[in-house]
Amino acid sequence: MEPVTDETAQPATDTGTFGKVLAVLDLVLSADTPLRFKDVLQLAGQPRGTLHRQLTHLVSEGLLVVGADGSYTPGLRLLRLAHRSWSQNSFRTVAAPHLLRLHAATGETVHLGVLSGSDIVYVDKVEGQQTVRMGSQVGKTSPVYCTGIGKAAIALLPEAELERLLSTIRFVRHTPATLADAAALRAEIATVRQSGIAFDREEHEEGIRCVAAPIRAGGKEPVAAISVTGPAYRISVDQLDRWSEVVSGCAADIARDWRLCLGPGR
């Protein structure tokens, strides 16, 4: 597993005691490898005594567990809460049959993602039929600027919100194909808005490609997208283009059913 990067680290914000505790919890859960106290202390930007009390409370409430090596990992209570949230998520429930249909049409891994800050959170996934498995997991996040599903989602944002988001992104080169800066991402989002389709051409992981479409559900929530993802040796750029219509059609069907679920006046 890779060490925590600046993309993972989130400084404590002035949101009161509860908000700071949640920020510490999120910091631990977002790390690619389990963090010890000294790691959290370095990343959290809080006094040692305060941080120790916060972590002690999180452990006592069953939200975190301390390992034999002093590292922190998710507690069983947190996992139960996450499972309940996932199973009762109305948007995921509405989208689920359409994800299965898209999976049946392509045979590849299908993702449903919701925008969260400058990341996309995977809220559902249908694994591909082939032997190669994606590293993505439900609940895991990826940067919006180098994933097809992320670019599709932020294409839904009003211009002012998009500009605010672009100003917060720290662009990291994951592969030679990763977009280098806000200007490059802004230009690509203009293309996504025109075509209704976004691509990941090995921008997040070498050897992985995807085609994605925004879910135009209306309103402020959720800002979401779907994607079909697979290995580059099996999925050509031309194949991604051929899947564009079925992916955008599936996104439109999810948006339609979500509006019906909300009912009139929403």
Split at pLDDT 50, 70, 90, the class of 146 is: very high
DSSP 83: H
77 and 120 co-located in one domain: no
70 and 188 co-located in one domain: no
Q: For residues 171, 175, 179 and 181, what is the CA-based torsion angle, rounded to 10 degrees? A: 30
Is residue 175 included in any domain, yes or no? Answer: yes
108 and 49 co-located in one domain: no
Rg of the chain over Cα atoms, rounded to whole angstroms, equals: 19
Say which amino acid occupies 198: A
CATH of residue 55's domain is: 1.10.10.10
Number of domains making up the chain: 2
Structural domain ending residue among the three candidates 30, 57, 82: 82
Beta strand ranges found along the chain (DSSP E): 35-36, 64-66, 71-74, 109-116, 119-126, 141-143, 198-201, 208-215, 224-231
Nearest to 207 by CA among 113, 126, 135: 135
Split at pLDDT 50, 70, 90, the class of 10 is: very low
Beta strand ranges found along 117-163 (DSSP E): 119-126, 141-143
Structural domain ending residue among the three candidates 82, 109, 140: 82
In which domain, by residue range, is 199 found? 89-262
Is residue 187 included in any domain, yes or no? Answer: yes
Helix (H, G, I), strand (E, B) or coil at 10: coil
Q: For residue range 43-77, list pLDDT tens digits in order.
A: 888 888 888 898 888 888 888 888 888 999 888 88
Q: For residue range 193-203, list pLDDT tens digits in order.
A: 999 999 999 99
Q: Residue 226, Cα to own-chain centre: how many angstroms?
A: 11
Per-residue pLDDT at 6: 40
Helix (H, G, I), strand (E, B) or coil at 115: strand
Is residue 146 included in any domain, yes or no? Answer: yes
CATH of residue 186's domain is: 3.30.450.40
236 and 122 co-located in one domain: yes
Split at pLDDT 50, 70, 90, the class of 5 is: very low
68 and 30 co-located in one domain: yes
Structural domain ending residue among the three candidates 42, 58, 82: 82
122 and 253 co-located in one domain: yes
Is residue 9 included in any domain, yes or no? Answer: no
100 and 147 co-located in one domain: yes
Return the half-sphere exposure (C-beta side, CA atoms, 13 A cut-off) of residue 117.
10
**Residue 205 phi, psi (nearest 5):** -135, 135
Tell me how far CA of residue 206 lies from CA of 27, 63, 178, in angstroms.
Answer: 27, 35, 10
193 and 254 co-located in one domain: yes
